[in-house]
Copies of this chain bind each other. A is one copy, B any other.
Amino acid sequence: MEGTTDGVSADLPYELTASEALRAIRRRTLGVVELVRAVLDRIDAIEPQVRAWVMVDRAGALARARELERQFEDLSARPLFGIPVGLKDIYDARGLPTTAGFGPWRERMPPADATAVARLRQAGAIILGKTVTTQFAFADPPETRNPWNPERTPGGSSSGSAAAVAARMIPLALGSQTAGSILRPAAYCGVLGLKPTYGLVSRHGIVPLAWSLDHPGPIARSVEDLARVLGVLAGVDPCDPATRTARVGDYLAAVRHPGPPPVCLRLDDFFEAAEPLVSSQVSDALDLLARHGAEIRHARLVTDPRLVADAQQTIMQVEAAELHADLHAEMADHYAPRMRALVETGALVPATLYVRARRIAQRFRAEILALLADVDCLVLPTASNLAPDRSTTGDRRFQAPWSLIGFPALTIPAGLVDGLPCGLQVIAGLWQEERLFRIARWIEGVLPPLPAPRLGLRGGSVSMQ
């Protein structure tokens, strides 16, 4: 693969992407136990600075690594053979509690693996532990720090997953997005994140927030890794009816044949609404893509994107209120303030308002479908701003519209502004993840890679892509 660093010094295996590590394991230049030990050592070294983990299953991960080393002949059929993965702490994984950041659930053991987790294990992945989530995957600020600046938020709600991947504590992690909870933390932390098409990945065994908006998805440091893990996760699951029409593609094949230079539609409304430094950084990235052959067209939306974000908010609060009615009745005092307000406000919304929000979504979906008829993808900044201070998890208005209508969205680092990462968000049509990966892989080859954040004993000089 061009643009990868398969030749990286083997004494820093935690710096490898999942695909790079897999190739090293396949060549037998890296052992699975060796990789897991390196990752655990890295966590020991820098976790106190980042606080990305709820728990690390040291013994379980090492035992599984040893077991895999005895199954080396199965490697070719297992696209994540030996790869350590972090799980946002709303995913059920046998033997580990699922807390969802909720105090009373500290010891809550799940009955079985979530479907996504079972698929990861089947593919040879090693569940390394649980990463920090905001409470119930909503918006109350977590303890996790942004690896680029400990005073800034890593974003939320997949805070630990994004921070751990950015800090090179793990090559891959799963997150979830209801408004902007995969793409925003990925962008704030300078890594890649994917929110797949609604219904492509099963939610069975994942603590829900809002059933018509919840999307599981991966966070990683390369497009190839996102494609690799999506190939493992995607598909119909009888336990999640939303997946019944899932259309799965060959994602790894797509990243192996990137390009041609895409036709991108730049959504000007978002560039105008973003902070000027973000807007100009992402515009510069698009200019660079254009110089390499991409065609950048401009569009302005008919449906006000602020209205769309409000519609997403209404639907989210109502569905959260419905899901939490019983638990909130029993344990309101244990709820974090923003989550509590979400549920309590949601219970007051009249159904006619919810339906109006759905109709706004339908109109917006039709508009986006029409826009995508003539181009390969839409492009906009992933967030309106750089990671703000830790009193908030950031601004979800740029990610929420795509969660509302279920279209796939991918964020890719577009450089640093004032020492903080900035993301370029790429949107494709429903079930068009193959196309999205081809485009993203092409973009990844054009944009300059981010350095790693300065962290820990080895911090500062590590460049990964």
Contacts and interface: CB of A to CB of B under 8 A. Distances in A.
Contacts of A355: 211, 318-319, 322, 354
A322 B352 contact: yes
A350 interface: yes
A351 B362 contact: no
Contact of A359 (B211, B318, B356): B211
Q: 8 nearest interchain CB pairs?
A: A351-B354, A318-B351, A322-B352, A349-B351, A322-B355, A241-B366, A351-B351, A321-B352
A108 interface: no
Contact of A369 (B244, B325, B346, B354): B244
Nearest to A369: B244
A365 B322 contact: no
Interface residues of A, number: 30
A246 interface: no
A123 B323 CA distance: 49
Interface of A is mostly: helix
Given A241-B362, A362-B241, A352 B369 contact: no
A98 B291 CA distance: 56
Which one of A349, A350, A353 has the greatest number of beta carbons of chain B within 10 Å?
A350
A347 interface: yes
Contacts of A349: 350-352
A459 B244 CA distance: 51
Interface string A216-259: 00000000000000000000001001001000000000000000
A349 B347 CA distance: 11
B356 A352 contact: no
Given A241-B362, A244-B369, A346 B354 contact: no
Contacts of A359: 211, 322
Nearest to A324: B352
A119 to B, nearest CB: 20
A366 B366 CA distance: 26
Interface in A280-329: 314, 318-319, 321-322, 325
Given A241-B362, A241-B366, A350 B352 contact: no
A356 B314 CA distance: 15
Contacts of A350: 347-351
A318 B350 CA distance: 9
A263 to B, nearest CB: 21
A378 to B, nearest CB: 18
Given A322-B355, A346-B352, 6 more contacts: A211-B359, A241-B362, A244-B369, A318-B352, A349-B351, A350-B350
Contacts of A241: 362-363, 365-366, 369
